[in-house]
A and B are shown apart, each in its own frame.
Chain A
């Protein structure tokens, strides 16, 4: 397959919006990928795969009445342990919440609450990434 030079849709959309706001022609440049970019992409890939796996298990269980909980348990435990190995416990628990509990059976998003009782809504993996980044920043500054 040939590599494509087409820009992602969101990049095109935002470029167009900015051009319309400022009545000017923008150019798109690619910045050099940093270690953080690589980490973020990997994090997105892992979380999206976990969501897919969880959804697949739910579909099998609810729609087809096939219970693979016992069979899957060892995989999930391994993944959870790897997350615990990488993140602190409180952050790993937010990831577990995001993957397993964020969406209820009716498809509604359940939100977290911060220490002041304000709702923290995680609409997507990008929100999760930034929440974790913020928690890490706050903890770093408190030290």
Chain B
């Protein structure tokens, strides 16, 4: 299935900061999940980089070079280990092994 690059839509109100964005568990979960989808897609299509998100409907996208896939997946692995979601850990471990 064709992967569509999702839009990362965030508007900070007066009191919120980007640190709050990083700490938000829902956002972290969305980012981790999308990373897994994007890397799987990148591997399937033999890409050298993956576009992870379009930022706030703008013309800008954040992308990850292939050499960054492993360290970012390792962060996702740690995230799911902490949450004790071992099926996800298993999935990520498989992807890392196939890099």
> What is the CB-to-nearest-CB distance from A33 to chain B, in angstroms, rounded to a whole number?
6
| A12-35 Cβ-contact flags toward B at 8 Å (1 or 0) | 011111101111111111111100
Asked if B56 and A27 make an inter-chain contact with CB atoms under 8 angstroms apart, the answer reads: no
| A119-135 Cβ-contact flags toward B at 8 Å (1 or 0) | 00001101101000000
Asked if A8 and B75 make an inter-chain contact with CB atoms under 8 angstroms apart, the answer reads: no
| B13-46 Cβ-contact flags toward A at 8 Å (1 or 0) | 1000011011000011001100100000000000
Asked if A18 and B11 make an inter-chain contact with CB atoms under 8 angstroms apart, the answer reads: no
| B45-76 Cβ-contact flags toward A at 8 Å (1 or 0) | 00001011111111111111100100110111
Asked if A26 and B56 make an inter-chain contact with CB atoms under 8 angstroms apart, the answer reads: no
Asked if B63 and A27 make an inter-chain contact with CB atoms under 8 angstroms apart, the answer reads: yes
Interface residues of B, count at CB 8 A: 37
Asked if A15 and B57 make an inter-chain contact with CB atoms under 8 angstroms apart, the answer reads: no
Cβ of B10: which chain A residues have Cβ within 8 Å of it? 10, 14
Query: A11-B60, A28-B60 are known contacts; what are 18 more A-B pairs with Cβ within 8 Å?
Result: A11-B55, A13-B12, A13-B21, A17-B21, A18-B62, A21-B28, A21-B31, A22-B32, A22-B76, A23-B75, A28-B61, A28-B63, A29-B62, A29-B63, A30-B60, A31-B59, A37-B57, A126-B11
State the B residues within 8 Å of A (CB): 8-13, 18-19, 21-22, 27-28, 31-32, 35, 49, 51-65, 68, 71-72, 74-76
